[in-house]
């Protein structure tokens, strides 16, 4: 216990005690990074016992987390994380790379990467005695918090843009959270949720605001370590990880996870991390391409709603994830994201637009020579295609309808044969 030493500001470096009650640095609003007692972890944990754990969720990494496992063993809280990593041999040959893995975060209990953060936030809320948790969300963070809150008896308040995909809104409603849709975009939902948290004393889970979300998201890196680096004996310098970026919190979390492992001496370096954005929501890409950490807001219009963000709330650390790991940022056109959905689907993975974005960025990185014939690649599919079937239907086109007769079938099959 008590591996949690407090926080450090990602901008000015100032440190704060564990009982600090704010969210971002009071001096400069920088994101706070959780500080862990690495020596204590080294004394208490070892990789063999983690690898041998029977816990099939992110709670297998409790020794490396700043919170205690809150219990709720037979609930969805204990099925967040430990998602499968698939290998696509055919596709890796076609692309001409060493190996292609897709980590399918759509398998999480509410079907996105966000479950990792929300599971940790429930644990934190329990420790600090917070009864109500609020979050702003493009949809998935809210669904994840609502689902985890429902599973554990917490009260959740969710602010989301009214334009969020219906599947995500229905998740919020079904899980019984207090759902408030705003007539505005994600950024306006974010600002309102922060004001509401201040006014009513609610605990705020917001992405890129609450320091603990990264502590959940970093478990994605631990799993890539266990499943690929250790599991498939791939050297970190041979590995490149691709992830889509909106607020920049997932990529910051993955970076933090690998940095923890380097600090512990369990891997010798961080794999290269590549952040992928839509050209129509590219604030972090723009900063990276300009060689700066200064994030200039954009007016985001991408259909990939999970990464449609005007002002990324974790932009500075997101830029650093690529620069410090020797990775890069790429921006891709929205049309190619539809292609990515179809292509991944043909290999058995149904991705939501933001998930397919990482795959499309990987293809582009291969074309640009950033990934070579010996490189191994992990693409993180951050969310399930079931989250946004409207976009999937745009990608595939409508299904054919025929009269229920053999005659009609015969005609259709002939037509398809001649089209081939």
Ligand X SMILES: *Cc1c(COP(=O)(O)O)cnc(C)c1O
Nearer to ligand X, 50 or 110 (CB): 110
Stretch in the footprint of Zn ion (CB under 5 A) among 22-30, 67-75, 81-89, 387-395 = 22-30
Strands (E), 144-197: 155-161, 178-182
* Residue 27 sits in the site that holds Zn ion (CB under 5 A): yes
Stretch in the footprint of ligand X (CB under 6 A) among 2-10, 147-155, 157-165, 248-256 = 248-256
Following CA atoms 411, 412, 414, 417 in sequence, which dihedral angle do they give, to the nearest 10 degrees?
A: 180
**Which residues ranging from 291 to 310 are in contact with ligand X (CB under 6 A)?**
306-307
Q: Which two tokens stand for residue 94?
A: 């076609």
Choose, by CB under 6 A, the member of 110, 171, 193, 249 that binds ligand X: 249
Q: Which two tokens stand for residue 246?
A: 């909106």
Binding mask 379-408 for ligand X (x = CB under 6 A): ---xx-------------------------
**CB-closest chain residue to ligand X:** 383
The entry of Zn ion, ligand X, none near residue 247 (CB within 5 to 8 angstroms by kind) is: ligand X
In the complex, least distance from residue 154 CB atom to ligand X, rounded to whole angstroms: 20
* Residue 28 sits in the site that holds Zn ion (CB under 5 A): yes
* Residue 247 sits in the site that holds ligand X (CB under 6 A): yes
Q: At what angle do helices 140-152 and 114-128 cross, to 10 degrees?
A: 50
**Which residues ranging from 139 to 178 are in contact with ligand X (CB under 6 A)?**
140
In the complex, least distance from residue 369 CB atom to ligand X, rounded to whole angstroms: 26
Following CA atoms 119, 122, 126, 132 in sequence, which dihedral angle do they give, to the nearest 10 degrees?
A: 180
Q: Is residue 153 a contact partner of residue 125, using CB atoms and an 8 Å limit?
A: no
Nearer to Zn ion, 256 or 363 (CB): 256
Stretch in the footprint of ligand X (CB under 6 A) among 112-120, 176-184, 340-348, 366-374 = 112-120
Choose, by CB under 6 A, the member of 103, 114, 255, 320 that binds ligand X: 114
Q: Residue 407: which residues within 8 A CB-CB, separation 6 or more?
A: none
Q: Is residue 162 a contact partner of residue 183, using CB atoms and an 8 Å limit?
A: yes
Per-residue exposure over 386-398, b if at least 16 CB sit within 10 Å of its own CB, e if not: ebbeebbeebeee
Nearer to ligand X, 99 or 307 (CB): 307
CA distance 259 to 22: 25
Choose, by CB under 5 A, the member of 9, 123, 204, 354 that binds Zn ion: 9
Q: Please give the residue ranges that form the binding site for Zn ion (CB under 5 A).
A: 9, 11-12, 25, 27-28, 30
Q: Please give the residue ranges that form the binding site for ligand X (CB under 6 A).
A: 112-114, 140, 207, 244-250, 306-307, 352, 354-355, 382-383
């Amino acid at each position: 216990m008590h591996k949690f030493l407090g926080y450090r500001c990602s901008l000015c470096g100032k440190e704060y005690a564990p009982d600090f009650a704010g969210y971002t640095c009071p001096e400069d609003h920088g994101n706070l990074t959780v500080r862990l007692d690495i020596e204590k972890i080294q004394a208490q944990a070892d990789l063999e016992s983690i690898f041998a754990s029977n816990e099939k969720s992110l709670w297998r990494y409790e020794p490396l987390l700043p919170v205690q496992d809150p219990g709720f063993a037979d609930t969805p809280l204990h099925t967040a994380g430990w998602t499968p990593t698939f290998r696509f041999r055919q596709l890796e040959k076609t692309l001409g790379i060493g190996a292609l893995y897709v980590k399918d975060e759509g398998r999480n209990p509410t079907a996105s990467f966000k479950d990792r953060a929300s599971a940790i936030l429930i644990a934190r809320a329990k420790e600090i005695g917070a009864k109500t948790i609020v979050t702003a969300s493009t949809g998935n963070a809210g669904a994840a918090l609502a689902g985890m809150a429902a599973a554990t008896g917490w009260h959740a308040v969710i602010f989301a843009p009214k334009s969020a995909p219906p599947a995500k809104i229905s998740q919020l409603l079904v899980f019984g959270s207090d759902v408030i849709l705003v007539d505005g975009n994600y950024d306006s939902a974010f600002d309102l949720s922060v004001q509401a948290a201040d006014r009513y004393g609610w605990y705020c889970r917001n992405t890129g605001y609450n320091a603990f979300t990264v502590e959940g998201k970093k478990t994605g890196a631990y799993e890539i370590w266990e499943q690929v680096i250790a599991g498939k004996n791939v050297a970190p310098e041979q590995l490149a990880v691709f992830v889509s970026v909106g607020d920049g919190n997932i990529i910051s979390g993955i970076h933090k996870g690998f940095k923890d492992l380097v600090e512990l001496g369990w891997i010798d370096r961080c794999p290269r991390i590549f952040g992928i954005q839509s050209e129509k929501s590219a604030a972090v890409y723009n900063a990276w391409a300009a060689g700066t950490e200064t994030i200039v807001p954009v007016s985001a219009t991408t259909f990939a709603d999970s990464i449609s963000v005007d002002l990324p709330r974790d932009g500075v650390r997101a830029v650093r994830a690529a620069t410090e790991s020797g990775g890069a940022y790429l921006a891709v056109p929205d049309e190619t994201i539809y292609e990515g959905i179809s292509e991944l689907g043909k290999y058995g993975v149904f991705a939501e637009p933001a998930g397919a974005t990482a795959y499309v960025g990987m293809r582009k990185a291969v074309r640009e020579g950033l990934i070579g014939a010996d490189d191994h690649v992990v693409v993180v599919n951050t969310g399930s295609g079931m989250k946004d079937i409207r976009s999937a239907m745009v990608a595939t086109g409508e299904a054919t309808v025929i009269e229920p007769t053999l005659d009609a079938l015969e005609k259709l099959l002939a037509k398809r044969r001649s089209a081939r």
